[in-house]
Amino acid sequence: MEKSLLFVTGTRADFGKLEPLAIAARDAGFQVSFFVTGMHMLGRYGLTKLEVMRLRGVAVHEFLNQRPGDPQDVVLAKTVIGFSDFVTEHRPDLIIVHGDRVEALACALVASTNYIRSAHIEGGEVSGTIDEIFRHCNSKLCAHHFVSSPEAARRVMALGEPEQAIHVIGSPELDFHSGPSGVALDEVRRHYDLPMGEYGICTFHPVTSEAGTMGAQARALFGALEQSNRQFVVIAPNNDPGSEDIFAAMEALPPTRFRVLPSMRFAHFSELMKNASCMVGNSSAGVREAPFLGIPSLDIGTRQTARGNAPSLFSAAAQDSTAIAQFLATQWGRRYDNHTGFGSGTAAEAFVTVLGQASFWNAPLQKRFHDIA
């Protein structure tokens, strides 16, 4: 009987990483389904559950785990209850969670307490926020680890996880970026009503530990971008605490040079990135995808602290208008060699190869702490 895989997705970002893995698993004969929750279910963020539903040959299960304004601990509690009910009825062979979101933490906890085999994607990474705490918690809760780099594998081992349960496959979203997007840039412009000419991309998410200053940071960053007199496509932030202040700053942007979007289809976003003059903000796309595509990127603030390093990657504080202006003046439109620090676009193939091994499914679910000699 074919094994059943349940992927958990709560945001447009983690779906872009999980989709290549799900497609490869589906095509390899696994029974694939998605538990869709979080931002996917909220109209303000583009109702991106529709993107998951477009994926053929998989089952989709929806769960509304929050109302606007719910704190993260409440979202965690709601998701634990809802996901527990779901897996009690469906009992998948493997639950796959990604990264550091509160939905992933809730579902990893349910998998662990119910002794359901689980896998964590992109563990072992560092960043500057509470996300890192969630990420390491997920690594401790899950039985298997698919990481993006040898450095990440080393950190997961430092958490006491056995080496044989850790697999370096690279970042899955690079699989998609490594090939044609399937859409033309003109089609992307028409679909999202984007202006002609050169453009940069900006995505600025809240940092939960700095929620009280996110409005000031956003106003400073957008003010510096406005002073450059260049065009930008601005993608809305996620729904962490502090997002309302960022939305308020975005609403003041002049529409003649800033096109604000709640979300984008992943293929369209990939094509937009491939043709962008630069990327600015604090999204992981700036430290992963942008360097992989050779696009200069400016990491703002603390959200991605120590997450990555590449010749095309620069950093600045949101209030450092001089550094932002210098980046835009010297890096706009430059191209760099493709950086492969997070993989070379073959993660899905490696993922399915591991799933095809009997040792993966026979590994014990009772975990022990493995000290590093």
Condensed to tens digits (0 to 9), the pLDDT of residues 188-220 reads 999 999 999 999 999 999 998 898 999 999 999
Identify the pLDDT of residue 372. Answer: 81
**At the topology level of CATH, where does 185-331 sit?**
Rossmann fold (3.40.50)
pTM: 0.91
Is the model's pLDDT at 313 over the cut of 90? yes
Q: pLDDT value at position 356? A: 96
Q: What is the DSSP string of 149-167?
A: SHHHHHHHHHTT--GGGEE
Confidence of residue 256 (pLDDT cuts 50, 70, 90): very high
104 residue type, one letter:
A
Distance CA 146, CA 124 (A): 10
Contact call for residues 148 and 121 (beta carbons, < 8 A): no
Q: Does domain 4-177+344-362 have CATH number 3.40.50.2000?
A: yes
User: What band does 1 get if pLDDT is binned at 50, 70 and 90?
Assistant: low
Rounded to whole angstroms, the Cα distance separating 263 from 282 reads 16
pLDDT at 373 over 70: no
Residues 6 or more apart whose CB falls under 8 angstroms from that of 251 comprise none
CB atoms within 10 A of CB 44: 13
Task: Domain ranges for the chain, please list them.
Answer: 4-177+344-362, 185-331
Q: How confident is the model at residue 240 (pLDDT cuts 50, 70, 90)?
A: confident
Over range 29-57, report the average pLDDT: 94
Looking at the predicted structure, is the pLDDT value of residue 127 above 90? no
Which ranges in the chain belong to alpha helices (H)? 12-27, 49-53, 72-90, 102-113, 130-141, 150-158, 173-177, 185-192, 214-227, 243-251, 266-274, 289-293, 321-331, 347-355, 358-362
Mean of pLDDT values over 298-318 = 92
Percentage of the chain surpassing pLDDT 70? 99
How does the average pLDDT of the chain come out, rounded? 95
